[in-house]
Structure 1
Amino acid sequence: MREAEASERTCIVTRRRDAPEGMIRFVRAPDGVLTPDIRSRLPGRGAWVTARADVVAEALKKRAFSRQLKAEVSASPSLPADVDRLLEADCLQSLAMANKAGAVVAGFGKVCEALEKGAVAAVLEARDGSAEGRRKLAQAARRAATARRVGERVTETISLFDSLQLDLALGRTNVIHAALAPGGPTQAFLARCCRLAAYRGESAAADAQNHDSERTDEFGPLKDATEQAQPEDRKLDE
């Protein structure tokens, strides 16, 4: 058996096998409480579930955890939402680590400058930022890509977090736009974001793309390059 196959786990609901990264492990605490083991490090017998909120909810409904763990467990009806919060916190902690490693710049101007230098692996856009700010960033990304002759698709855009969450993770205020440089810390953060987005049944950039019905690319709605950013974006993200 290949090493990859040997490390796969079977979902207690769907019975499908997948790599641990695509699943969530649950354990029974000593007091009988069902506990999500987001990083798969807790001791004891584990129950593996496909990392999707609807599958976790189905496991609760079918009492699949008790059967797999061979013991009665106490599980809150809010378990799917609790797991979402844990996955989100894991992402933001990883972002904070990337920031400490010097892999993050914040502010519209600094992000545009990084794009022009081609030193961006991913762009962060606060999901509560303005559509105008997303348009401006899309234009900057396209201009930078054209200058480097690499086409329009230049980076991955993450729009899973609001401005306050980005503030706390990055240790500054009013963060609307940020960029991450290539490297290990960024890849670790992106992997966690993909996991969170998959759990929610969306893509990491879905929020940014769905705010407006106009023609879009991965950076959100597109408009003419002469448009100005909304005042609140200039004020909040300088």
Structure 2
Amino acid sequence: MAERKCIASNEVQYKEDMLRFVVGPDANVVFDAKGNLPGRGLWLSARQDMLEIATAKNKFAKAARAKVRVPDNLADEVVRQLRAGCLSRVGLARRAGVLTQGYEKVRAALKNNPNGVLLQASDGSSDGREKITRLAPDVSVVALFTAEELGHAIGRDNAVHALIGAGKMAKAFLGDARKLAGVTNQPLNGMLPDASGQIE
């Protein structure tokens, strides 16, 4: 896999794990979520602190060797696009027939074949989450989205438990989810609350 150097830390990483930016015709720094915008790529580790350093210490201009403008909402835009991209992949997985949703169906799927990526609503019941994750302790768990967000992605009002079957779609989703966790500085498996008002 191709590697790139982070403009903030100088650390070399696989580019699939990094954030790509380009400088637009108006000299604004633009986040390239899909990695296909024209122009020389400016690569950054998918971490909140690296984004802060790049913005505060003029790293984009130094890497571009030109005067650039960094939008005030660049960090928010990175998060917005990554969240949207992840949820779009959930919808694609449903339409492709590789997404299982619902507590009992996910539980049965993991018992039969403990692979893929397990999605848990961030506002879901911690008890329900633990019961399912115990069935497949080695499966990656993503709990970065609310039940409403997951539900909308798959055409329902709410969704608390879902499973993307092992394969290219699961790998692509997990890659974007890891970037989102990095730039929001939270664990990939989320921080599920113990308070009342959880969704079962």
TM-score by length of 1: 0.75
Q: Identify the match of residue 121 of structure 2 among 106, 126, 131.
A: 126
Distance across 2 between alignment mates of 1:65 and 1:233: 42
Aligned 8 A contact 2:117 2:140 in 1: yes
1:171 and 2:155 correspond? yes
- The 3 A distance-change label for structure 1 pair 207 and 60 is same
After TM superposition, what 4+ stretches of structure 1 lie above 6 angstroms from structure 2?
Answer: none
Aligned 8 A contact 1:101 1:185 in 2: no
Aligned 8 A contact 1:126 1:163 in 2: yes
What is the aligned partner in structure 2 of residue 192 from structure 1? 176
Q: Deviations over 1:126-184 (max 9, x none)?
A: 001123332xxx33554xx4xxxxxx624222101111211121111211111222222
1:111 and 2:106 correspond? yes
Distance across 2 between alignment mates of 1:177 and 1:21: 27
Give the superposition deviation at 1:206.
3.4
Percent of pairs with identical residues = 33
TM-score by length of 2: 0.88
Q: Which runs of 5+ in 2 are unaligned?
A: none
Give the superposition deviation at 1:77.
2.4
1:176 alignment partner AA: V
Q: Identify the match of residue 9 of structure 2 among 10, 14, 39.
A: 14
Give the superposition deviation at 1:16.
1.5
Distance across 2 between alignment mates of 1:53 and 1:154: 26
Q: Deviations over 1:184-227 (max 9, x none)?
A: 2122212221222233333311323xx35xxxxxxxxxxxxxxx
Number of aligned pairs?
Answer: 199
Give the superposition deviation at 1:81.
2.1
1:48 alignment partner AA: W
1:60 and 2:55 correspond? yes
CA RMSD of aligned residues (A): 2.2
Aligned 8 A contact 1:98 1:189 in 2: no
What is the aligned partner in structure 1 of residue 92 from structure 2? 97
Aligned 8 A contact 1:133 1:233 in 2: no
Q: Which runs of 5+ in 1 are unaligned?
A: 146-151, 213-229
Higher helix proportion, which one? 1
Give the superposition deviation at 1:61.
0.8
Output aligned runs, 1:63-82, within 5 Å. Answer: 63-82=58-77
1:159 alignment partner AA: A
Q: Radius of gyration: which is bigger? A: 1
Distance across 1 between alignment mates of 2:75 and 2:199: 34
1:8 alignment partner AA: E
